[in-house]
Amino acid sequence: MKKVAVILSGCGVFDGAEVHEAVISLLALARQGATTQCFAPNVAQLHVINHLTGEISERESRNVLVEAARICRGQIRDVAELDAADYDALLVPGGFGAAKNLCDFATKGAGCQIQPDVLKACQSFANAHKPAAYICIAPAMIPLIYGAGTLATIGHDEGTANAIEAMGGSHLNCPVNEFVVDQERKVISTPAYMLANNIVEAADGIEKTVKQLLTL
């Protein structure tokens, strides 16, 4: 039975992990016979978004780890504790939290940096040559983890693709129901809600990605 670490970035598409992507990923992993452990950084969110109005809540702050615990029924650990030696693979769902809380791509673009505990955890899988999957906007972190020339996709958004290229990545356009694999580095990416119009379209690509992750 494969053990997969899942890094969440909060709870909610606009300021945390995309809930559909996270739940689809966890379900697909379970259906493929894998066990999972969720992680998140124990840090404050960049900001809190009112998901009803889309407005920033100026007087409110939330913790990424505490919010992410909502998705996995409280079964979550600080990402500072994550080491690839304890797991067979890694999966990182998207949502704006991946670009706001796991890194600062949302505000810095190609000049972004990854939160230190997240970077250390992700690099532990890269250095151990263990497979990893990045979903939606999370692949924007791939060049900083795996280095220049790594294949990745976020779909076909030109601005985001150009930023990934500027960071040293090699972006490939990809439809919503497929994925891109860098076989040498064992890293997979899929567009999900960067392109998906509904939960079914998001699930198509994620389920294929999970199957490929466990195959690797």
pLDDT at 200: 98
pLDDT at 160: 97
**Sequential pLDDT tens for the chain (216 residues):** 999 999 999 999 999 999 999 999 999 999 999 999 999 999 999 999 999 999 999 889 999 999 999 999 999 999 999 999 999 999 999 999 999 999 999 999 999 999 999 999 999 999 999 999 999 999 999 999 999 999 999 999 999 999 999 999 999 999 999 999 999 999 999 999 999 999 999 999 999 999 999 999
Catalytic residue flag (residue 136):
yes
CB 153 within 8 A of CB 191: yes
Residue of 11, 72, 112, 136 marked catalytic:
136
CA–CA gap between residue 140 and residue 39 (Å, rounded): 19
Nearest-10 crossing angle of helices 199-215, 19-31: 40
pLDDT at 86: 98
pLDDT at 102: 98
DSSP category for residue 216: -
